[in-house]
Amino acid sequence: MAPAIVWFRRNLRLDDNVPLDAALRGHETVVPVLVLDDHYRDEDFSPPRLRFLAESLRELEAELAARGSRLLVRNGPAGDALAALARETGAEAVYGHDDHEPHGRALAREVDAALAWQGTRLRLLPDLHLVSPGSLRTDSGRPYAVFTPFLKRWREADKAAPRPTPPRVPTPDAVLDTSFPSIPLSRPLRLREVGAPANPPGGAREARHLWDGFRESALVRYEGGRDVPAASGTSRLSPHLRFGTIGIRRLLAEARAAWKDADAPGRASIDVFVAELAWREFYASILAENPRVLTESFRPEFDGFPWSAGEEAEERFAAWRDGRTGYPIVDAGMRQLAHEGWMHNRVRMIVASFLTKHLLVDWRRGEALFRARLADGDPASNNGGWQWSAGCGTDAQPFFRIFNPVLQGERFDPDGAYVKRWVPELAAWKGAGRNLHAPWRAPSPPADYPAPIVDHATARARALAAFDAIRGAAGSPRR
Ligand SMILES: Cc1cc2nc3c(=O)[nH]c(=O)nc-3n(C[C@H](O)[C@H](O)[C@H](O)COP(=O)(O)OP(=O)(O)OC[C@H]3O[C@@H](n4cnc5c(N)ncnc54)[C@H](O)[C@@H]3O)c2cc1C
């Protein structure tokens, strides 16, 4: 029987891997491959993600070897590489995951065209989400643009059970022969990226370790703990979900098992955690239905928004980027991002609101910086989070609701543990008292920490005036 190619992309694991499982069920042998196409050379594929990818691939390679197989690595373009590999191995089909992102869709078309003329089948199966992006519709048959009704339908929708880890991955002898061409993982230059100083470690073993630790302690307290950036109240699984080093069906099945054993508050927390997984799927659906959001505001009235430009805007953007705005919670978040390639969700919302509303810098600039610095950079969630924060997206935080960074800091980091961890100037400051989140109010602010680059009340008034201008232009009622 002819083998099947298993094309790994953002599902870098053996457990709960739908294309691998389907290929093994339908064929006696499989040929696992990763294709390094131009996407990985793209500037947007940031160093933190390349490092995470490289570590995840090394582990996948070892796991396949332990099961009698081998991870082949070929250079792209993907269509040419997969078509050539099918000819070399006599494979009759290529199995991969389907993709809601514009890049992934274009890739699928390219691969399909390259395989079709030689009669090789392409089978792209749902693997990255519990409910395929774009598959849910409102009663009137339209795509969802508001989260709460989406969540209701999403909770009701059928979801597949996790697939087992294969004990063995039978692979043709010719492919196992070391003379069969494959690029050593140590060779591609970009896979040697250093990443952020404390980059999240990649690989399925690390994902399992994080998930077990989180599930056994923080999951049942997630509802309260998830908003406290100093605590380990969230799973930190986001880069693992981005690269598929843990299966989404496995997560849901184990969260449901924990729910059965939990008391009422624990169950409420697990429900909130599952709703966060649904946010990820909501934004994936928004991107699947509206690829234009990658470059445009979801709400067209924001096309004419008077974003700041010029030298002053550049200086403000640089201060935000480098964690020197003078607002401790904002600076702590931006420094965490630079150091860890990750930032706590509450703080992502605060820094995004600050950039777009206090500094009036276009959300696209913030989104691009996050993309360049995050290990979990995900086009759909990043875009959705930025547009939500800027007030121009689906289901958005209304523009006129402007986070006060001092109050946010006092509420979610009351003892200042998070700010002190990331802003050493403030950790060393003896005279903080009750002013840690507003150092300028203290009789003697720390000399080595910047004064606020904008005054909250002034910035708020300016943002509201800008918003009123576009509301007026769009002819919509004022707030
Ligand atoms: C401005 C902004 C940009 C963001 N950019 C990204 C991004 O590039 N990649 C990314 O994965 N998430 C992004 N998020 C969403 C969220 O901040 C992260 O998913 C979360 O902080 C990851 O930490 P965690 O794994 O500990 O999350 P947990 O709280 O443990 O949640 C579990 C999983 O649910 C998903 N999730 C949780 N919250 C959200 C959310 N608000 N939106 C979408 N999915 C969610 C993630 O996959 C996460 O790993 C962004 C949010 C904002 C406000």
Each residue's pLDDT tens digit, 350-397: 999 999 999 999 999 999 999 999 999 999 999 999 999 999 998 766
Q: Which amino acid is at 309?
A: A
Q: In what order do the strands lie in the sheet with 72-75?
A: 72-75, 30-36, 4-8, 93-97, 121-125
213 alpha carbon to ligand 1 midpoint, in Å? Answer: 18
On whether both 86 and 98 belong to a single domain, the answer is yes
On whether both 243 and 390 belong to a single domain, the answer is no
Domain count, the chain: 3
What is the residue whose two structure tokens read 């981005």? 242
pLDDT value, residue 186:
86
* Residue of 276, 387, 394 with the most ligand 1 atoms within 8 Å of its CB, for mutation: 276
372 alpha carbon to ligand 1 midpoint, in Å? Answer: 16
Q: Whose CA is nearest to atom 19 of ligand 1?
A: 238
Instruction: Write out the H or E segment, with its range, that includes residue 5.
Output: strand 4-8
Instruction: Say which DSSP state 300 is in.
Output: G
The active-site residue out of 7, 279, 388, 429 is 279
The active-site residue out of 345, 425, 435, 440 is 345
For 186, the token pair is: 């140590």
Boundary (domain end) residue, out of 259, 289, 319: 289
Rounded to the nearest angstrom, the gap between the alpha carbon of residue 337 and the centroid of all alpha carbons in its chain is: 13
Boundary (domain end) residue, out of 289, 315, 347: 289
Instruction: Say which DSSP state 234 is in.
Output: S
Average pLDDT over the chain reads 94
Largest CA distance in the chain: 80
pLDDT confidence bin for 150, thresholds 50/70/90: very high
Catalytic residue status for 363: yes
Closest listed residue to residue 273, CA positions, set 229, 230, 236: 236
On whether both 151 and 284 belong to a single domain, the answer is yes
pLDDT value, residue 189:
67
Domain membership of residue 295 (yes or no) is no
| Contact in structure between 21 and 164 (CB atoms under 8 Å) | yes
Domain membership of residue 184 (yes or no) is no
Non-local CB neighbours of 17 within 8 Å, separated by 6+ positions: 11, 127, 163, 244, 247
On whether both 122 and 89 belong to a single domain, the answer is yes
CATH number of the structural domain spanning residue 282: 1.25.40.80
Domain membership of residue 191 (yes or no) is no
Domain with 266, as residue range(s), is: 129-162+202-289
The active-site residue out of 363, 388, 422, 429 is 363
Catalytic residue status for 386: yes
Handedness of CA 285, 290, 291, 295 (dihedral sign): negative
409 alpha carbon to ligand 1 midpoint, in Å? Answer: 20
Catalytic residue status for 276: yes
| Site residues for ligand 1, CB cut-off 6 Å | 226, 234-238, 241-242, 276-277, 279-280, 283, 345, 348-349, 352, 370, 374, 376-378, 381-382, 385-386, 389
pLDDT value, residue 476:
47
Across the chain, how many H-helices and E-strands are there?
21, 5
Residue-wise pLDDT for 87-144, tens only, equals 999 999 999 999 999 999 999 999 999 999 999 999 999 999 999 999 999 999 999 9
279 alpha carbon to ligand 1 midpoint, in Å? Answer: 8
Please return the burial class of 197, using the count of CB atoms within 10 Å of its CB with bins 0-12, 13-18 and 19+: exposed
CATH number of the structural domain spanning residue 424: 1.10.579.10
Q: Whose CA is nearest to atom 11 of ligand 1?
A: 238
On whether both 425 and 460 belong to a single domain, the answer is yes
Cα separation, 82 vs 328, in Å, equals: 50
Residue-wise pLDDT for 26-75, tens only, equals 999 999 999 998 777 766 678 999 999 999 999 999 999 999 999 999 99
On whether both 87 and 102 belong to a single domain, the answer is yes
Q: What is the mean pLDDT of residues 183-204?
A: 87
Q: What is the mean pLDDT of residues 174-193?
A: 88
Catalytic residue status for 307: yes
On whether both 146 and 37 belong to a single domain, the answer is no
pLDDT value, residue 286:
97
With left for phi above 0 and alpha for psi between -120 and 50, is residue 326 left, alpha or beta? left
On whether both 262 and 144 belong to a single domain, the answer is yes
